[in-house]
Amino acid sequence: MMEDAGQKLKQARERLGLTYREVEEFSGRIAEVRGNEEFSIALSRLADIENKGTLPSLYRLYPLCAIYRANGLAQIIQMLEKGQLTKHSMKFTIEHLDSFSVPLSDEQKRYFRNFNAHAELNGL
């Protein structure tokens, strides 16, 4: 049975050792840089996405991909440009992403802790 999209996002967040609050904070930074609050993900919304099957909008999917360092956003945009999203929901798209992650030890994770610092988000 295919994993639920929300569970995949939860696993990605947990693999990176990120809390709901940190994702909320990082998405807020992205929203500031983009000048659009729709990029901001409230803690409660993230919990709903992960646990209740709430589908994220593209505005919310963008910061999740950036924060979790997924290559999924590029795939979604390509599918959108090719008109391949007209018959499928975002849930279908998320469930069919081919993404790659490399497991890191706790020691290695510390080098990426500030990967998405506010200063590095300029130009997104």
Distances (CA, A) of 75 to 18, 28, 52, 93, 106: 24, 24, 24, 9, 29
Q: Do 33 and 122 touch, CB atoms closer than 8 A?
A: yes
What CATH architecture does domain 5-108 belong to? Orthogonal Bundle (1.10)
- ∠ Cα 18 95 46 (to 5°): 35
Domain residue extents for the chain: 5-108
Each residue's pLDDT expressed in tens, for the chain with a length of 124 residues: 335 778 888 888 888 888 999 999 989 988 888 889 999 999 999 999 999 888 888 888 888 888 887 666 566 667 666 766 655 556 666 666 666 566 767 776 666 555 555 555 554 4
Q: 58-68 and 5-15 helices cross at what angle (nearest 10)?
A: 30
